Structure 1
Amino acid sequence: MPPLSSIFLLAFFRSNIIQSINIDLGIPNVLQTDPELGSHTDVFLFSFDRCSSPGRTRFKCDKYIWWNKHRRPFGEDLPLLCPVCSCIRPWGDVVYTKEAWAVECSNPKCGLDERNRRVIPSGKISKNKPPNPKFLTPKKRPQGWMVEAVFDVKYQ
């Protein structure tokens, strides 16, 4: 998606090459400058860091995830179709609890037969929240970025 990533790449190069901001510190600010990129993709940042002791190197990968309170809870994409009634984009409001989130199909006919009798429960998706989500944007906002460590390896 080159057209969507051009604003991000320009801000990224300006921050890291021209302003000499450390990539780990600069990437959250750069992501905030591009509102279109997040709703289409996650961003992976692979980085090497030479440790202070000789011969030691650190290799890590962070995944920056776009979240939206209503459409992409904790970065999880909601399916296009309800798995029960195949209705397109049927999802109601996301309900959050302390440990999980859930969303139900808003189609009133979901799970009913032709005589309007309930034959199966209506479509519902629920998942546990990530254990320790690290939000880059305040949780008070309805959308933003969060980061999750994919791996962090130190080797000689």
Structure 2
Amino acid sequence: MGLNTRGGIPHLLNAALEEYYTEATLRYLEVIFDFGTQRKLHHWQAKAQRLASTIGEDTFQQKIFFISVHSEVTRGDLFAGKDEGGDDVAVLPKEFMDYLFAGCLRPLVSRATLFMLSCGPLVTFPQSICSFKEALLELRPAYTITFGATCFIGTVIKSFIVAFGSWVVIQGHDLGEVFTDLLNVSVELPMHTDAYLFQFEEQMASDMPNLSSSAVHIKGMRYSWYHTHHHPWGCPLPMSCPKCGSIRSWSPSKQGKDSSGAPGCISTCQSPACGFQMFSYQPRSYQVIKVKVGEGMGWIKQAGI
């Protein structure tokens, strides 16, 4: 589902799965949405009803939604389409998801896997991410994957998507259990973007008088690539030194303190007569997941997103 559906990651996943399924067991649907005006919204709501009927006629063990949409760079709103004057219309993620999954399409998202192919502002602004999690809490997809790059390039997750199709869709592994493994096979992804995994969780509420009652919440996790030379504590260093302009001149990071005494990792420009230093600070509440012991690189997992 997107503002346009030409090529891209959904096509790649479908191509990877076609050899393992028949036409009766694999359905691929593309839909273009635009609800930037009331008239367009009414048209989309009718279209969503027809789409829900098409999907509802078949019983599938897994449903995977890809949403390709732009995000507003100053606050993370999502673009809903064009208004009467041809200008872009952006709304809060909760409002966007309410419009997108209209009517009978809404319950089909429950227990599905949702990929948000949008730029990082969606998950980097507090108001935006809170609105997005509010939408997920109502829609209840089992897992939702988003990415944090300011200018996200979808092609960097090609290896991730192919591995997802093999390990999760075909072999049946739980996405939460193999998520780091999927990231590790993604050669281009680590240096380009953080990855976010949102998981819908439902727990029995023992303090409620009705034993059938349950408490639900969205568990958000952020995965940032770290490397002692290029991404200390998951913070990317600039390609060139801000002082002398030397390219890729950073030393391996070392523990130290900045001018205020705050602890962090120090990266020093090794260009002669420069010595410019940059500081990267330790994140809160994190877990280090190493790719290989002793190689100085891996993933920093932060919970509570």
RMSD of the alignment, in Å?
Answer: 2.4
For residue 127 of structure 1, what is the aligned residue in structure 2? 280
For residue 248 of structure 2, what is the aligned residue in structure 1? 89
Q: Which has the higher helix share?
A: 2
Match of 1:136 among 279, 289, 294: 289
**1:48-63 equivalences in 2 (<5 Å):** 48-53=200-205, 54-63=213-222
Closer, same or farther: CA 50–14 of 1 in aligned 2, 3 Å: farther
- What code does the residue aligned with 1:43 have? A
Q: Percent identity?
A: 26
Rounded to whole Å, the distance in 2 between the matches of 1:106 and 1:123 is 8
**1:31-42 equivalences in 2 (<5 Å):** 31-42=183-194
Say which is worse superposed, 97-106 or 52-61, in terms of deviation: 97-106
1:102 aligns with 2:266: yes
Deviation of 1:139 after TM superposition, in Å, equals 5.1
Rounded to whole Å, the distance in 1 between the matches of 2:249 and 2:300 is 26
Structure 2 gap segments, 5+ residues each? 1-152, 206-212, 258-262
For residue 118 of structure 1, what is the aligned residue in structure 2? none
- What code does the residue aligned with 1:38 have? P
Aligned residues between the structures: 140
Q: Which has the higher strand share?
A: 1
Match of 1:76 among 235, 238, 256: 235
For residue 11 of structure 1, what is the aligned residue in structure 2? 163
SS at match of 1:136: strand
Rounded to whole Å, the distance in 2 between the matches of 1:42 and 1:128 is 16
1:44 aligns with 2:196: yes
Closer, same or farther: CA 132–139 of 1 in aligned 2, 3 Å: farther
The structure whose Rg is larger is: 2
Deviation of 1:132 after TM superposition, in Å, equals 4.6
SS at match of 1:37: coil
- What code does the residue aligned with 1:107 have? S
Deviation of 1:8 after TM superposition, in Å, equals 0.2
Say which is worse superposed, 139-148 or 41-50, in terms of deviation: 139-148
After superposition, the C-alpha distances for 1:30-65 in whole angstroms (9 at most, x for unaligned) are: 222223221221111122112233242120211111
Rounded to whole Å, the distance in 2 between the matches of 1:69 and 1:33 is 20
